[in-house]
Amino acid sequence: MKNLRRKTLAGASAAALGAGLALTGVPSPVAAAGPETSYLVLAPQGATTGKAAARVAAADGTVVASYDQIGVLVVRSTNPSFATRVAGAGVQSVASTAGLGTALDEGETVEVSAADATGDPTREPLYGQQWDMDMIHLPQAHAVTTGRPDVIVGVLDSGISSTHPDLATQIAKDESTSCVGGVTDTAEAAWNPTTSDHGTHVAGTIAAALNGVGVTGVAPGVKVAAVKVVNDDGYIFPEAAVCGFLWAADHGMRLTNNSYYIDPWELNCRNDARQRPVWQAVQRAIRYSQSKGVLNVASAGNSNYDLAHKITDTGSPNNGTPEERENLTNACLDLPAEVPGVVTVAAVGPTGEKSYYSSYGQGVIDVTAPGGDTRFRTQGVRSTSTDGILSTTFNTVTRTNGWGYKQGTSMSGPHATGVAALALSAHPGMTPGQLSSFLERTAVARSCPAGVYNPVPLIPTGPNAYDATCSGGKRNGFYGAGLVDAYNAVR
């Protein structure tokens, strides 16, 4: 069994959870000021947030965002005893979100120039380098539809460059926002990228325009909305993710793409008091979005981890000294990928086989899609960048737009999201559950490889570093129901 392997970009402090004290009529003593800390405060399921808000005020906290739809408050306080003082009647649970952000796994970006492309007889000059689009039969699908503009996809990520020539016409600007800090900011500058082009790359895979410039997206006829949930340090804090799901739900989006994790723990354990409030808040937000007609798609992760057999985690939290956690159970979940109703996507490379890094798991993976595999040609010795996924990029240092390669399940997720957007365009009216089922039914089944699978035995980390074993039959742990197929989804 593999232990989890995670890349991080920055560190943060550890999380804390408070126990309860009854609220009295005695004025609160003046608390010694500490650093301003953010909290999630949850009212009981189905209850309003009025009592919780009163307790927040009495405990020297300030409500910065109130999500009454799901009974969740985002709060800030400098009172070191806030978590203890706020708990009680009207508050189901409370947790500091300090340290609960997960550094976005950027992967390596290898930039290319449109002028250097050999081109292709199709409409876009860089299409010849988009092996992923032929794999999912995109030309045949585009002969039927390129997508409808009334289908809006929320890209919960690091922002989208609104000046990119392949994306400028594709963004639903009126529906875009920043959710960093758990508070919405609809200014265009707020939802543009600042320190990461991850969201710009993801958005291009979904909907880069058919305009004779650069690349094509899977569904260039639909619109994408930037819902920025990644802060400038590269972290996704729980309050930002909750805000993002609710924003998408309340602004007419039919799909969201989620190429990230919540919490510095690869696996968020519901039976851990430090993590349970985060699980509850995220689950409420996703259930609410589903009730509003949103299908949420999430990446499976890049740890080559069997999510169906969670045993040991020695790599979390990724924001400090890891703790060894053994004998884990299925109470420990990958968020948001393992929330019920979320479509979980694994990755394949140019051969159609599981990408060496892609996490997997029978009963967890729903479908697979191209995510790139830059190591299979050399059995792991070195990378071949053109076996990654080519899409739109934004250089955050020079502030210039471009195109480049990345690999990861962060890249496979938007392929599945784009196919789902095409399916909705061709067959409107499907509920999230119907659309999820349709995506699986139209996928092309792939069989498990025999024995232990490891395409990179010569990788520097060791000959068995990426061993994996597939289980299941027509539907299995590597590929779920199979490889998404754009043509099958629209005909």
- Each domain of the chain, given as residue ranges in start order, spans 37-97, 110-490
Q: How many CB atoms lie within 10 A of CB 433?
A: 11
> Is the CA virtual torsion 79, 84, 85, 90 positive or negative?
positive
The per-residue pLDDT for range 278-306, each reduced to its tens digit, is 899 999 999 999 999 999 999 999 999 99
Inter-residue contact 161 to 192 (CB < 8 Å): yes
- 342-358 burial code (b ≥16 CB/10 A, e <16): bbbbbbbbbeebbbbbb
The per-residue pLDDT for range 56-76, each reduced to its tens digit, is 999 999 999 999 999 999 999
Can you list the alpha helix ranges (DSSP code H) found in 357-466?
409-426, 432-441
Active site residue 198: yes
Top pLDDT among 118 and 248 is at 248
Task: Say which of 105, 132, 157, 334 is annotated catalytic.
Answer: 157
The per-residue pLDDT for range 223-258, each reduced to its tens digit, is 999 999 999 988 898 999 999 999 999 999 999 999
The token duo for 264 is 């510095």
Task: Say which of 137, 164, 198, 201 is annotated catalytic.
Answer: 198
CATH class of segment(s) 37-97? alpha beta
Active site residue 471: no
Q: Is 56 in a helix, a strand, or coil?
A: helix
The per-residue pLDDT for range 326-358, each reduced to its tens digit, is 778 788 888 999 999 999 999 999 999 999 999
Q: What does the pLDDT read at residue 310?
A: 78
Determine the average pLDDT of the residues in 13-25.
Answer: 26
The per-residue pLDDT for range 188-213, each reduced to its tens digit, is 999 999 999 999 999 999 999 999 99
Determine the average pLDDT of the residues in 125-136.
Answer: 96
Active site residue 410: yes
CATH architecture of 110-490: 3-Layer(aba) Sandwich (3.40)
Q: Is 198 in a helix, a strand, or coil?
A: helix
Task: Say which of 96, 358, 391, 410 is annotated catalytic.
Answer: 410
Q: Which residue has the tokens 């009730």?
A: 291
